[in-house]
Amino acid sequence: LETKELWDKFHELGTEMIITKSGRRMFPTIRVSFSGVDPEAKYIVLMDIVPVDNKRYRYAYHRSSWLVAGKADPPLPARLYVHPDSPFTGEQLLKQMVSFEKVKLTNNELDQHGHIILNSMHKYQPRVHIIKKKDHTASLLNLKSEEFRTFIFPETVFTAVTAYQNQLVSR
């Protein structure tokens, strides 16, 4: 995880990510670097964002903290965000950082733009996946037959909000 220091600062405060109907970019941005890949192979890099638990939260201003406010809303359609520069060669991945700055988060359940759909006041964990692409594979339809790894960075957990709740996060 690149920019780990920034993620750590937000994590200490309780990271919040703004979601809007039209879609909003993440801040901080998920940026990753890879090592140990085969320079000759091709890789697809993607991200998804999954619920951390089955709870809904509310922000208690007087305590400056998040409290459980009940059971989670029904989960929304899970979406994978395939990095637009995929497939990468292993050689590219060894030299450059992969940035997910174009990912947008929305609360619009009917989104037609491929944004990641989340429920406000719920906690989420972004996950980065790397798939070693086999030559004969035309699509991502059958992931089971592919070689892949998933990376989870606990410091990237966030609460989806329509407006920042904690003043320190806004600052």
Q: Residue 106 domain-assigned? A: yes
Are the C-beta atoms of residues 158 and 12 closer than 8 Å to each other? Answer: no
Q: How many domains does the chain fold into?
A: 1
- Is residue 41 in some structural domain? yes
State the Cα–Cα distance between residues 28 and 15, nearest whole angstrom. 9
Query: Does 95 reside within a domain?
Result: yes
Tell me how far apart the 2 most distant CA atoms of the chain are, in Å.
58
Tell whether 171 is covered by a domain. no
pLDDT tens digit at each of 171 positions of the chain: 999 999 999 999 999 999 999 999 999 999 999 999 999 999 999 999 999 999 999 999 998 899 999 999 998 888 999 999 999 999 999 999 999 999 999 999 999 999 999 999 999 999 999 999 876 555 555 555 668 999 999 999 999 999 999 988 988
β-pair partners for 132:
43, 147
CATH classification of the domain holding 76: 2.60.40.820
> Could you tell me the residue range of the domain that residue 45 belongs to?
4-166
Classify strands 55-60 and 65-71 as parallel, antiparallel or unpaired.
antiparallel
